[in-house]
Amino acid sequence: MVLRNQKHVLLAGGSVLLLCFAWLYTHYRQFFPPCMFHQLTGLHCPGCGATRALYALLHLDLARALHMNALFILVGLPVLAILGLEMMQEKLYVSARAHKWMAYGYLILAVLFTIARNIPLPPFSLLAPY
């Protein structure tokens, strides 16, 4: 019973932390450092634009959120929601084997998304978070 309460506290704390970061991003953008991968290589990593996508999503601007980072919005957030529900309810909605394959699938999608968003030709250039 104590473990279950600790998970609720952890989830609540994580939610509050996420909302604090969203508020900070809204009011103090200079607080967030630029992407080091982008600064060093000039390429967009799979996470580039995720903060701006979350900001747009919090402002109910789904089109802008998808433009900033479609992978994070369409795949990352649902996966995080499933994992959060499983953690809270101490119950697996998908098997442990499926978790393993989901992780491999997400890794493959992230690599493909990174390659596609760095191709400087339409329609791939639309994936860049500008």
Tens place of pLDDT for every residue, the chain, 130 residues?
A: 445 567 777 777 777 877 777 777 666 666 667 788 999 999 999 999 888 888 888 889 999 999 999 999 999 988 888 888 887 777 887 788 888 898 899 999 999 999 999 999 999 989 998 7
Residue 48 amino acid letter? C
Going from the C-alpha of 10 to that of each of 14, 26, 77, the distances in angstroms are 6, 24, 18
Q: What are phi and psi of 96, to 5 degrees?
A: -60, -35
Distance CA 82, CA 121 (A): 35
| Rounded-to-10 torsion of CA 88, 8, 32, 124 | 10
pTM assigned to the model: 0.74
Asked whether 55 and 22 are in contact (CB, 8 A), the reply is yes
